[in-house]
Amino acid sequence: MRHSNARGFTLIELLVVIAIIAVLIALLLPAVQAAREAARRAQCTNNLKQLGLASHNYLSTNGSLPPAMLVPSPVDNWGWSPSGLLSILQYLEQGTLWNAYNVGAVQPNASGNVLYGKNTTVFNTQIASLLCPSDGRMRQVTLSNYVGNLGGPFQMGGYTGTFIPTADWNLKNNNQAGDLKIAGVVDGTSNTALWSEVLSGHTNPGSVKAGDSNPNNWKRVHFETGLNNTQADAAGAMALVNACKSMPPSTPGVAGARGDWFQAYPYYINYAVYNHTAPPNTRACSNAPWNTWGQDVYGAAPPTSHHSGGVNLCMTDGSVKFIKDTVNLQAWWAIGTRNGGEVISADSY
């Protein structure tokens, strides 16, 4: 009678095989995740390039760059407006949506919330090309991960960027805003930012603390620093940056209105704009006691992202660059202004 010599795996052999498989998974998983994030970042870069191209098509048609907001409110003259992102929908292959929009001012109700009224169809439409795939969205309507450059620190000059309000009665009288011609970008279109990115606003900002160990939370909200207006110069801007950086970890968030393509307000840095005060991927924070409706323009509203080490930035010439979180602060201020006269080199950012 013939006996078989076949035998099964011993327990030790089986455990060794399982351990080898676990090690392989541990080695391969980060590589797979990195490859996926690289693809998401590439898509985000492409979205910004499309925004840059759409801005230049708008410029060719209208003779000026897209405004941060379309019209001031005829009701209170404070400037609650549709975002200027609406004006380039037709250049983002969204002509049907633009045609569906009923042009006119939006008006805040008693709580400061914008009334959408006759534009519910547009309001409830999400635009894929305005979404960065790296952002885990917390809300589903009027979201835009791409925001326009309002300018450098307001302590050093108002509305010095390239995505600025149209002139209303107050801004116009102070010569601070209006239709921006390309000739107004004195520092050069390749040296001046036009668009960047932010993570979408948090739906419950009061639950977020400044010292939250998860950046996915604190990058989505604004914080109050406890300052009561800093001096109007570079030292004042620096004081704000330092206050944002060193605020107590227990400081709660006070607002989460970041990344919105539908509504805008000329005196706030929420919604569809960002500024070049604090460096990328740092806290957004106020320069004075909190305003009930939003973040005052003297505050800091940096771009934020889930991309490792920095954010994407579309320059006014349409090129897209990756700006590191460690960017030199003076260089960061400089590329945020269109007419500051600064001389900067590419290796400074």
More confident residue, 210 or 80: 210
Whether pLDDT at 32 is above 90? no
Q: Which of 153-162, 237-246, 254-263 has the lowest mean pLDDT?
A: 254-263
Of the ranges 24-33, 88-97, 260-269, which is most confident? 88-97
pLDDT at res. 76: 47
**Residues near 18 by beta carbon (within 8 Å), at least 6 away in sequence:** none
pLDDT at res. 102: 73
- Distance between CA 267 and CA 345 in Å, rounded? 32
More confident residue, 15 or 177: 15
**Residues near 260 by beta carbon (within 8 Å), at least 6 away in sequence:** 83, 142, 143, 144, 201, 270, 271, 272
Whether pLDDT at 170 is above 50? no
- Distance between CA 162 and CA 165 in Å, rounded? 10
Whether pLDDT at 173 is above 90? no
Which tokens sit at 276?
Answer: 């070049």
Phi and psi at residue 300, in whole multiples of 5°?
-115, 130
Q: Quick one: CA dihedral 161, 165, 170, 173, positive or negative?
A: positive
Which tokens sit at 120?
Answer: 């519910």
CA distances from 238 to 16, 261, 336 (A): 57, 30, 15
Q: What is the pLDDT averaged over residues 68-93?
A: 73
Q: What is the pLDDT averaged over residues 96-115?
A: 63
**Residues near 112 by beta carbon (within 8 Å), at least 6 away in sequence:** 292, 293, 294
pLDDT at res. 75: 47
Q: Write the pLDDT tens digit of every residue in 258-308.
A: 888 877 777 788 788 999 999 999 999 988 776 545 578 889 999 999 998
| Residue pair 316/45 in contact by the 8 Å Cβ criterion | no
Q: DSSP state, 290?
A: P
- Distance between CA 61 and CA 222 in Å, rounded? 36
Structure confidence at residue 175 as a pLDDT band (50, 70, 90)? very low
**H or E stretch at 195:** strand 193-197
Q: Write the pLDDT tens digit of every residue in 106-156.
A: 555 544 455 556 677 787 788 889 999 988 776 667 789 999 999 999 999
Structure confidence at residue 248 as a pLDDT band (50, 70, 90)? very high
Q: Write the pLDDT tens digit of every residue in 179-236.
A: 789 999 999 999 999 999 999 888 888 899 999 999 889 999 999 888 877 778 899 9
| Residue pair 118/102 in contact by the 8 Å Cβ criterion | yes
Q: Write the pLDDT tens digit of every residue in 57-79.
A: 999 998 999 988 876 544 444 55
pLDDT at res. 139: 66
Range 175-180 contact pairs with CB under 8 angstroms and sequence separation of 24 or more? 177/266, 179/62, 179/63, 179/64, 179/67, 180/64, 180/65, 180/67, 180/338
Whether pLDDT at 241 is above 50? yes
With 0.75 as the threshold, say if the pTM is over it.
yes
CA distances from 291 to 28, 69, 253, 298, 316 (A): 48, 20, 13, 12, 31
Q: Quick one: CA dihedral 122, 125, 126, 128, positive or negative?
A: negative
Whether pLDDT at 311 is above 60? yes
Q: What is the pLDDT averaged over residues 155-171?
A: 77
Q: Which of 63-77, 155-169, 247-261, 310-324 has the lowest mean pLDDT?
A: 63-77
The share of the chain scoring above pLDDT 70, in percent, equals: 83
